[in-house]
Amino acid sequence: MLHNLLQEKKGIIFGALDEHSIAWQAARSIKAAGGNFVLTNTPIALRLGKLNQLAEECQATIISADATVVADLENLLEQAMTVLGGKIDFILHSIGMSPNVRKQRSYGDLNYDWFLKTLDISALSFHKILQTAEKLDAMNEWGSIVALSYIAAQRTFPDYSDMAEAKAMLESIARSYGYRFAKNKKVRVNTISQSPTHTTAGSGVPGFDKFYEYAERMSPLGNASAEDCANYIVLMFSDLSRMVTMQNLMHDGGFSSVGITEQIVDTL
The dihedrals phi and psi of 194, each to the nearest 5 degrees, come to -95, 150
Burial class (CB in 10 A: 0-12, 13-18, 19+), 105: middle
In degrees, rounded to 5, the angle at the alpha carbon of residue 26 between the alpha carbons of residues 253 and 22 is: 65
118 binds ligand NAI (CB under 6 A): no
Mark the segment that binds ligand NAI (CB under 6 A) among 65-73, 75-83, 174-182, 230-238.
Answer: 65-73
Mark the segment that binds ligand NAI (CB under 6 A) among 14-22, 82-90, 181-189, 236-244.
Answer: 14-22
Residues 215-254 that bind ligand NAI (CB under 6 A): none
- One residue of 5, 12, 121, 133 binding ligand NAI per CB under 6 A: 121
119 binds ligand NAI (CB under 6 A): no
Which amino acids are annotated as binding site for NAD(+), given as ranges? 15, 21-22, 95, 167
Find the shortest distance in angstroms from Cβ 175 to ligand NAI. Answer: 17
C-alpha 49/C-alpha 46 separation (Å) is 5
H helices within the chain, ranges in order? 22-32, 43-48, 51-58, 70-84, 99-102, 112-119, 125-135, 163-185, 200-203, 208-218, 226-237, 262-266
67 binds ligand NAI (CB under 6 A): yes
- The amino acid sitting at 235 is L
10 DSSP 8-state letter = E
Nearest to 67 by CA among 95, 46, 87, 45: 95
Catalytic residue (one of 160, 177, 214, 232): 160
Size of the site for ligand NAI (CB under 6 A): 27
Please indicate whether residue 150 is annotated as part of the active site: yes
Catalytic residue (one of 107, 150, 177, 232): 150
Catalytic residue numbers? 150, 160
Per CB under 6 A, residues contacting ligand NAI are 14-15, 17, 21-23, 41-42, 45, 66-68, 94-97, 121, 148-150, 194, 196-197, 199-202
